[in-house]
Amino acid sequence: MEKAITEPVSRDLPNSARLWLARQQSTVRPFLIGVVIAGLVNALAFICLAGLLATVIQRTLIDGQALSAQSGPAIGLIVAVAVRAISQAAQERFGQLASARVRQRVRSELLDEWAVQGPVQLAGRASATLANHWVEQVEALDGYFARYLPQQWLALLVPLTILAVVFWLDWLAALFLLIAAPLIPLFMALIGMSAERLSQQHVHEAGRLAGHFLDRVRSLTSLQLFGQVEQASAGVTHAAERYRAVTMRTLRVAFLSSAVLEFFASVAIAVVAMYIGFGLLGYIDFGPSPQLTLFSGLFVLLLAPEFFQPLRNLAQHYHDRAAALGAADALVGLSPAVDSEQTYRRVVSMSPRTDHVTVDRVKVGYSGRSAVLEDVSFSISRGDVVALVGPSGSGKSTLLSCLAGFIQPQAGHITLFGQAPGAEPVAWLGQRPFLIKGSWADNLRLIAPDADIAAMLTAVEAVGLKDVVAAQPHGLATPLGEGGRGLSGGQAQRLALARVWLIDAELVLLDEPTASLDPNSEAEVIEALLALARSGRTILIATHHPAIVAIANRTLRLHAGRLVDE
């Protein structure tokens, strides 16, 4: 009970996470370059804006020109503002595109990987973890690709551009900026290091608190029986208190770091402003200061805050990087070691079609166990209805998983009408039907998204559920609970069986479809199976039930992983 649900986040993320991020980055490089270019255009437009503004003010106040005589700079100002707006939008848009591409790609990689692993291997992983990877971890990559990565470049290029302009105007002012600039990244890095450690601790504590609390709530009955409620609530209080302390420390560092950043930026800008002020008043006789004009002074002053802005933005997006690294660490193990597409294509090999399902000297073993199937060979013809019988644990489900392509045999060869398993859809029904929360129609459309009402009614009729549907208040649109709540076991199993009628899978694999049913429901399902058997499909049913064996025109008997007789 004491064990925390989450493992502590490792402090030194392995290089593989960084490499994985770099690999993702290389796929969206054009978009990232687009963001950087748009950001640069934005900065150049600002420089023009500041220059034009300083020109107008210089001409009006010092040179005594009328405002109306300055239509040229005025038009320039409007153009600069428009360019700025457009480039900002473009920057945002390219960033979103890059991030969306990456997330889409990662999700499709995950899907491919899961498809290759198949339900048998995936059964070893908690579905909550899979869902968390699919949704949250992938989403955590957003800020990194949309903002942080391009900002890394902009934080270098934009200050350099501004510095060049300021240098041209007044090299002493540029020198002030140049001295102040590295201080910011330096202090950010110092604070950032401890912030990173703290934010990992924060994530860790949050996970621990959640696990702790969930454990206590789950075992509330036992706690009450043993009179441990007081201690348990004290434990939760203690864990929450620790979480509070870490949160406060994280916040303190976050506030401190932005305060340091603001402080240095303000000091640097103030120094530049002071220099320009005294220079304009003629108090400074050093270097370029006697040549300062209102134009050059104002121009420099307007540019100074913009010089620090990209660095501040970078600091703001710094946590995006930490989040993405954390997510990458979780996702990197899931990305296929071998190219998943390759694995998939290997399965989808083109070969001439035949009329047989052949299993040739197939051997299967789960890791750390002796072989579950040994030297199994048989062939069935199109349209055969085959019963697969044998004691529990003899390998029936394993054989069906091989035929479905969920498991790769260690030796031997399987072809389904000339194709490799997994190349074409097969229909599968296990002991418990897979029904989702949704209407009858939703459940049927799960595997045949384009099925129309008429086809669904035909399918429902074929499994003997027509009267049941007719008795529902909204027919096929009547909602069902999760796992088919609201239906009897036999009805749920027949609803799942109705899906087989909606797809044109040639091979139908049924794994003990009546095993968890009462006699009445069993009879209903067997009735539906009989109709399926007459439909001309090739059907392989693992079963113990004599009535189902009677439907079949062939029987394969497995014993301890070997085919004993027919």
| CA 346-104-336 angle, 5° bins | 35
Reduced to 3 states, what is the DSSP secondary structure of residue 553? coil
**DSSP, residue by residue, 415-454:** EETTBPTTSS--EEE-SS----SEEHHHHHHTT-TT--HH
Distance, first Cα to last Cα, the chain: 51
SS (H, E, C) 369-409: CCCCEEEEEEEEECCCEEEEECCCCCCHHHHHHHHHCCCCC
Q: Look at residue 216 and give the partner it binds from ligand ADP, Mg ion, none, a contact being a CB closer than 5 to 8 Å depending on partner kind.
A: none
CB-nearer residue toward ligand ADP: 221 or 370: 370
Residues in region 98-127 near Mg ion by CB under 5 A: none
Please compute, for residue 525, the number of CA atoms within 13 A of its CA located in the half-sphere on the CB side: 32
Burial class of 376 by CB neighbour count within 10 A (0 to 12, 13 to 18, 19+): buried
CB-nearer residue toward ligand ADP: 145 or 406: 406
Q: How far apart are CA 497 and CA 194, in angstroms?
A: 58
Q: Look at residue 491 and give the partner it binds from Mg ion, ligand ADP, none, a contact being a CB closer than 5 to 8 Å depending on partner kind.
A: none
Interface with ligand ADP, residue 393, by CB under 6 A: yes
How many chain residues bind Mg ion (CB under 5 A)? Answer: 1
Least CB distance to ligand ADP at residue 369 (A): 6
Contact pattern from residue 352 through residue 391 relative to ligand ADP, giving x for each residue in contact according to CB under 6 A and a dash for the rest: --------------x--x--x-----------------x-
Listed ranges 69-77, 166-174, 393-401, 445-453: which one lies at the site for Mg ion (CB under 5 A):
393-401
Identify the CA nearest to 288 among candidates 169, 162, 163. 169
CB-nearer residue toward ligand ADP: 45 or 541: 541
Least CB distance to ligand ADP at residue 560 (A): 9
The enclosing H or E element of 565 equals strand 562-565
Contact pattern from residue 397 through residue 416 relative to Mg ion, giving x for each residue in contact according to CB under 5 A and a dash for the rest: x-------------------
Least CB distance to ligand ADP at residue 346 (A): 23
CB-nearer residue toward ligand ADP: 175 or 560: 560
Q: Look at residue 366 and give the partner it binds from Mg ion, ligand ADP, none, a contact being a CB closer than 5 to 8 Å depending on partner kind.
A: ligand ADP
Least CB distance to ligand ADP at residue 452 (A): 36
Q: Measuring CA to CA, how many Å separate 29 from each of 22, 56, 99, 506?
A: 10, 40, 11, 44
Other CB atoms within 10 Å distance of the CB of residue 25: 15
Least CB distance to Mg ion at residue 511 (A): 6
Instruction: Report the DSSP beta bridge partners of residue 137.
Output: none
CB-nearer residue toward ligand ADP: 65 or 121: 121
CB-nearer residue toward ligand ADP: 394 or 443: 394
Are 404 and 426 in contact, with CB atoms under 8 Å apart? Answer: yes
Q: Look at residue 394 and give the partner it binds from Mg ion, ligand ADP, none, a contact being a CB closer than 5 to 8 Å depending on partner kind.
A: ligand ADP
Interface with ligand ADP, residue 392, by CB under 6 A: yes
Interface with Mg ion, residue 543, by CB under 5 A: no
Least CB distance to ligand ADP at residue 183 (A): 59
CB-nearer residue toward ligand ADP: 314 or 508: 508
CA trace torsion 507, 512, 518, 519 (10° rounding): 70
Contact pattern from residue 159 through residue 178 relative to Mg ion, giving x for each residue in contact according to CB under 5 A and a dash for the rest: --------------------
Interface with Mg ion, residue 200, by CB under 5 A: no
Q: Look at residue 297 and give the partner it binds from Mg ion, ligand ADP, none, a contact being a CB closer than 5 to 8 Å depending on partner kind.
A: none
Listed ranges 7-15, 149-157, 277-285, 392-400: which one lies at the site for ligand ADP (CB under 6 A):
392-400
Q: Which of 42, 250, 398, 543 binds ligand ADP (CB under 6 A)?
A: 398
Residues 6+ apart with CB under 8 A from 31: 94, 95, 97, 98, 101
Residues 6+ apart with CB under 8 A from 350: none
Q: How far apart are CA 58 and CA 335, in angstroms?
A: 61
Least CB distance to Mg ion at residue 327 (A): 37
| Residues belonging to the chain | 566
Are 211 and 6 in contact, with CB atoms under 8 Å apart? Answer: yes
Q: Look at residue 99 and give the partner it binds from ligand ADP, Mg ion, none, a contact being a CB closer than 5 to 8 Å depending on partner kind.
A: none
Q: Look at residue 24 and give the partner it binds from ligand ADP, Mg ion, none, a contact being a CB closer than 5 to 8 Å depending on partner kind.
A: none
Least CB distance to ligand ADP at residue 212 (A): 31
**Assigned token pair, 141:** 């990559």
Q: Look at residue 282 and give the partner it binds from Mg ion, ligand ADP, none, a contact being a CB closer than 5 to 8 Å depending on partner kind.
A: none
The binding site for Mg ion (CB under 5 A) comprises 397
The binding site for ligand ADP (CB under 6 A) comprises 366, 369, 372, 390, 392-398
